[in-house]
Amino acid sequence: MKLTLQREGQIKVLDAISTITVYEDNRPDVYNLLKFIEEKGVSCQLLKERIGENYSDFVIEGIVKFLEENQFIDKNHTLTAKGRKFLETQKFPSEERGQFRFWILEDPLVKKSVLHFQREKKREKENEQISVDDEDVSNMEKIDFISVKDDTKFNIVKMDRASNSSHKFHCIKHDSYTSDCKIIWEITLSDNKESKIYLTGKLTESKNHTEFNKKALEQVPDVNLDSLVIGLIENNCPEYLWNDTLRAFEIDVNENKIKNLNKININELVNFSKNIELTNTDTCFGKFNISTVIDVPIMPGNNNVAEKWFEIYVENNICNGYIDSNEFNAALDSLKKRKEFAKYDKYIKEIDSKHFIDRFRNYKMDKYWGLHAPLDLKPGIKFGIIVENLTGKKSSMHSLVQEIVGDKKPEKFVFSSKYLNNKYQIKKFELFAAAFKLSGAEDIRLISFNKPQLSDNSIIIELYDNIYGDTKFWPHDRYFAFKASGSWYYYKMSAELDQCHYDSKEENDWTVDTIGEWKDLTINRLEKKETYEKFFKYTDTL
C-alpha cells in the first residue's frame, strides 16, 4: 500500500542570538588525521611521522589540543563519538555564535523544523527585540537540520535566553515574511516500511523569495504506519474488515448484493488490489487534504463472495484463448492456493474445467470453445507458463525466466512498472533483466515513473509521461514482454518483484542464481489484445 498525505504549512521567520554548528565539507586534512589516529593512536612521534619530522613538538601539541577542543578525541587521546561521526559523514562541525535569521515551519507532523538560516550582519537595537516564551522556539535546539535552500547541514546548539528568565528568548519576529509551503508525507507499507516527508514552497524575505521543490526532511514522526493507514481506510470504508494475518481487507457483500461484485473494477478483483479514496483524513497529526491509498490488498469476506470472485477471476484472467483441460485445471489449482482463497478452500476445491464449460455453454460461447476446443487448434502456445502463482515457491530469477521463456530465445525485453523506488525493488528488477539477458535478450528496456540508478548502463529507461501520456492513462498493472523469432509475448504481474525474499538482507549478496522465496506474486501470459494498448503499441515500435 502507498499513501501520500498533503496539506499546507506556514513558514515563520525570526532573528535570534544563537550558537550554531555548521557542518562543512572539504576538510580532508582533519579527516586524514583522524583516520590515522583511528588506526595508529596518538603520540607526538607517530604524528611527526604522519605529518613530517620538520614540525616541532609545539605544533604537534597544538594539533592535539585542536582535536581535543573540537571534541574529536578525549583526554585519553581516543576517538570520541563526535570524531567517529565525522569519519562517517566527512562533515566538519564548525561552531559559531552571533545573530541569525531562521525560517521555521510549525506543524504537528514535523513539530518545529528549521528550514534555513543565514547570518545577520546588523544587530537589532535592544528596544526592537521582544521576549518569546520557551514553547514558541522549543524543540529546535540540539537537532540536525538541512537547509532547503542550499542543503547545508546545521544544528542550533543554543539560543540566548533573556537574562532574567530561563524560559524566555530574545528574538525578532518578521510577520511580513510569513509564507506557505506544501507538506508531503509519503508512506509505503510493504516488507520494508518507509515514511518520508517532503516540502515544497518558498522562503520569503522582504521582496525576495527563494523557491524549493520536494526537499526531504530528515525528521519523520515515530508512529505505527500500519495502524495509521489501516485506520484511515477503516474510517472511510467501514464495510472493509482488515485481516491482519493475510494482510488484506475483506470485502463482505451480503447475499442479496452479491451481484454487485460485477460492478467492481475487474482489474481490481483480478489483481486482489484496489485504490481507495480518503475523504476523511483526520489523524493524530491533524487533518490532511483528500487523498487516495494506492494498491490496497483486498480479498473475499465470505463464502458466497469467494465463489463469485473465483469465477470472475477465472473468466477474465484464465479463459483467454484456447487452453486444454490439463492446463486449465493446473491454473485453477494455482489460483486456489492464493492466500486470499485459502480460508474458503472447501467451497471452491471442487471447481474444475467442467464447471466452467457448463457455465460458459449458455452465455459465453467464445470462452466455451476456447476451453472446450483442443489445444492444437492454436499451435505454438505450448511454451513457458500461462498462469503461475509463485506464492510460497522458491526459485532464482534465472530459473523463473527459464520457465517463462521455455524453448524460446528472447531478443528484446521490456518491463513496465511505476513502483521502482527503493533499492530492493531496483536490485530485483536488475536480476530479472540480467536473467533475460542470459537467455539471449540484447535490447532491454524499462518503463518507469522516474529514472532509477541502474548498475547496467545498457538498459534503456523510458518515462511513463513519454510512453503513456497523462497520468489518467497510466496503467495500474505491471507488464513485461519479450520478443523472440519476430513475435512478442506479453505478461502481467500481480505485484512487484520485491515479493521475492532472500535469506541475506544485503542486496550485494544477491545474484541471478540466488534462491529466494516468493511471498505473493502471480504471473499471467496475455494475448496481445488483452495487454494494455499503449504498452503493446510501444513494443510494436521496437
DSSP code for 125: P
Helices then strands, counting H and E runs in the chain, come out as: 16, 26
Q: Are residues 99 and 123 in contact, defined by beta-carbon separation less than 8 angstroms?
A: yes
User: How much is the pLDDT for 381?
Assistant: 38
What are the pLDDT tens digits along the chain (542 aa)? 999 999 999 898 888 888 998 887 777 878 888 888 787 777 666 776 677 666 677 777 787 888 887 788 888 778 888 888 888 888 878 888 888 999 999 889 988 889 999 888 765 544 455 555 545 566 688 888 889 988 888 989 888 776 655 566 677 778 778 788 999 999 998 777 789 999 999 888 767 788 898 888 877 888 999 999 999 999 998 888 999 999 999 987 654 555 555 556 778 888 899 899 999 999 999 999 999 999 999 999 888 888 888 888 887 777 666 666 667 777 788 888 888 988 888 888 777 766 776 666 666 666 655 555 533 344 333 444 555 678 888 899 998 998 888 888 999 999 999 878 788 889 999 999 999 999 999 999 999 988 888 999 999 999 999 999 888 788 878 899 999 988 999 999 888 898 899 998 888 889 999 999 998 888 888 888 778 889 999 999 99
How far apart are the C-alpha atoms of 106 and 183, rounded to whole Å? Answer: 11
How far apart CA 83 and CA 92 sit, in angstroms, is 10
pTM to 2 decimal places: 0.60
How do strand 443-448 and strand 412-416 relate by DSSP bridges? parallel
Cell reading at 85:
561521526
Using alpha carbons, select from 294, 299, 242 the residue that is nearest to residue 272. Answer: 299
Residue 128 near residue 136, CB atoms below 8 Å: no
In this prediction, residue 380 carries a pLDDT of 39
CA 467 vs. chain centroid, Å, equals 22
Other residues' Cβ atoms within 10 Å of the Cβ of residue 392:
12
Mapped onto helix, strand or coil, the DSSP state of residue 422 is coil
Residue with cell 506474486: 521
Displacement of CA 359 from its chain's centroid (Å): 43
| Cell numbers linked to 487 | 513475435
* Confidence (pLDDT) at 437: 95
Domains, the chain, in order of start with CATH, read: 2-20+96-216 (no CATH), 26-90 (1.10.10), 225-308 (no CATH), 383-542 (3.30.870.30)
Rounded to 5°, angle at Cα 388 from 383 and 392: 140
What pLDDT sits at residue 27? 78
Give pLDDT, residue 444: 96
Distance CA 120, CA 98 (A): 8
Question: What is the model's pLDDT at position 257?
Answer: 53
C-alpha angle 378-480-471 in degrees, rounded to nearest 5:
120
What's the pLDDT score for residue 163? 62
Around Cβ 436, how many Cβ atoms within 10 Å?
Answer: 24
